[in-house]
Amino acid sequence: MGIEQVQVVIAGAGPVGSVAAAYLAQHGIKVLLCEQGNDAAQDLRASTFHAPTLEMLDQIGVTEKLIEIGLKAPVYHWRDRKSGEIFSFDLTEISDIARYPYRLQCEQYHLAKMLADRLEALDNATVLFEHRVVDVEQDETGVSVALEHMTGIKHVRCQYLIGADGANSIVRKWMGIDFDGFTYPEKFLCLSTEFPVESKIPDLALVNYISDSDEWLVLLRVPSLWRVLVPALEDETDEYLLSDEKKTKVFDGIVGDGAGIETQHRTIYRVHQRVAKQFRVGRVALIGDAAHLNNPLGGFGMNSGIHDAYNLCEKLVAVLKGEASEDVLDLYDRQRRTVTHAFTQQQTLANMEMMRAGQDEAHRQRVESMRALANDPEKRREFLMRQAMFSSLADAAAIV
C-alpha cells in the first residue's frame, strides 16, 4: 500500500488543531487531522470565547452555532468577598470595536466536536481518531509522519506538519524545542454544580473573580452549570481535593450550605507558564498549548491558540498557493511568540498576582487598584481591550 500524501497534517483535534484544519480545508488545502483519542475530547477546561476569537470563528462559519449553544456574558465582575464591593467591567463599552461585545461562555469541546463533524463531510479533509503521532521526520521536500493506530502504524507524507497536540506535544519533542517556564506549586481544583448559585449571591455576573484577604476563587457560568475554580494548598492530597469534605468547605464559603451541594464534576489541574523556544522549525510549526501554556485567569489559553492557528494558516495558505515564500512562516514565529511573551504570559501572571495578593495591606492595595481601574473610563477601556485580547492581536500585526 502506498504512503498517503496530503498537503498538511495537523496533530491533535483539540479546539486549536480543529480550527487550523477547518481554516485550511476551507481554503482548498488537502488536510489530515489526526487525534489520539476516540472522539473530540469532552474537555471542560476552556469556557470563555473572547470577542476577536468569535470574529475569527465566524470566518469558518461556527460562531452563530456557538452563540446558540453558549451564554453571552457582556459583564464580568471582580468582587471583594468580605466587603461585597463589586467592580464591574462591561464589554459593551467597546462595542465600537467589538462585533461580539461579550465573552461567550461555552465549553471548548463543542467547538472541536462541531469542526470534526464538518471536516468529515469535506472531500479535501480527513479526520482520523485513535491515530497517535509517534514519529516525525522532515527533509527539504516534506515531512514524514508515523501514526500509531490499534492494529499498526500508518505512514503519511505531507508538505507541512502542524503540532496542535497540547501540553505534552510529541511534535515539539521530536523537534527538540525547549519548553521553558515553570509549573505552579499549587494545583487547581475545578468543581461544577447545577445548583443555582445566583440564588445565594446577589448581583452575580456570569463571570466572577472573587477574592478576600485569605482566599480567591473564580465562579463562572456555562450553559448548564456553575463552575468554581480554587487553588489547592500544597499539602492537600488529590484524594482530599476530590473528597466531599473539600467540596463542602469550598461551597460553605460560597453559598453557605456546602454539604447540600451536589457536584457534576471534580477535576484537578496542574497549571504551568511555559513558552516553546521556537514556534517553527523548517516545515513544522507549533500552535496552541503545544507552543505555550499559562494559568487560566483571564481565559487566554485556547483563545490565544486559535489566534496562533489563524495567523499561521493564513500564511501557510499563501505559501502552498505559491503566493508567498516560506520566509513568511518566520513571521508567524516572530508575531505569535512575541505576543505570547509580552501579553499572554505577562497578563496571566499579573492576573494571578492580583487574585492572590494576600492579606491586610496587600489586599487593601489590590482593592484600591481595582477601584482606580474601574472608575477611570480611559484606563477601563484599555483594560477591556487588553483582557478581550484585541490589543495583543494589534501588537502581533504590528510586527514585521
Ligand X SMILES: Cc1cc2nc3c(=O)[nH]c(=O)nc-3n(C[C@H](O)[C@H](O)[C@H](O)COP(=O)(O)OP(=O)(O)OC[C@H]3O[C@@H](n4cnc5c(N)ncnc54)[C@H](O)[C@@H]3O)c2cc1C
Nearer to ligand X, 40 or 374 (CB): 40
Closest CA to 301 of 35, 19, 47: 47
**Binding of ligand X at residue 161 (CB under 6 A)?**
no
* Long-range pairs of 244-253 with CB within 8 A, sequence gap ≥ 24: 246/189, 247/191, 250/189, 250/191, 250/217, 251/191, 251/193, 253/81, 253/215, 253/217
- Closest approach, Cβ 349 to ligand X, in A, equals 15
**Binding of ligand X at residue 35 (CB under 6 A)?**
yes
Cβ atoms 105, 47 nearer than 8 A: yes
**Binding of ligand X at residue 110 (CB under 6 A)?**
no
**Binding of ligand X at residue 74 (CB under 6 A)?**
no
Q: CA 273, CA 255: separation in Å to the nearest integer?
A: 32
- Closest approach, Cβ 371 to ligand X, in A, equals 26
Options 70, 101, 231, 301; binder of ligand X; rule CB under 6 A: 301
Options 106, 165, 339, 357; binder of ligand X; rule CB under 6 A: 165
- Return the residues of window 192-251 that contact ligand X according to CB under 6 A: 229
Distance of CA 399 to the CA centre of its chain: 23
Nearer to ligand X, 60 or 229 (CB): 229
- Closest approach, Cβ 218 to ligand X, in A, equals 9
Options 7, 26, 36, 138; binder of ligand X; rule CB under 6 A: 36
- Closest approach, Cβ 19 to ligand X, in A, equals 8
Nearer to ligand X, 48 or 126 (CB): 48
Q: CA 234, CA 188: separation in Å to the nearest integer?
A: 10
- Closest approach, Cβ 335 to ligand X, in A, equals 18
- The burial of 349, by beta-carbon neighbours within 10 Å (0-12 exposed, 13-18 middle, 19 or more buried), is given as middle
**Binding of ligand X at residue 77 (CB under 6 A)?**
no
In this chain, which stretch among 46-54, 61-69, 252-260, 321-329 interacts with ligand X, using CB under 6 A? Answer: 46-54
In this chain, which stretch among 30-38, 70-78, 272-280, 392-400 interacts with ligand X, using CB under 6 A? Answer: 30-38
Rg, C-alpha atoms of the chain: 22
Options 6, 8, 10, 11; binder of ligand X; rule CB under 6 A: 11
Options 302, 316, 339, 370; binder of ligand X; rule CB under 6 A: 302
In this chain, which stretch among 42-50, 58-66, 152-160, 340-348 interacts with ligand X, using CB under 6 A? Answer: 42-50
Options 7, 9, 17, 110; binder of ligand X; rule CB under 6 A: 17
Residues lying near ligand X in the complex (CB under 6 A) are found at 11-17, 34-37, 41, 43, 45-48, 108, 132-133, 164-166, 170, 190, 229, 269, 288-289, 296, 299-303, 305
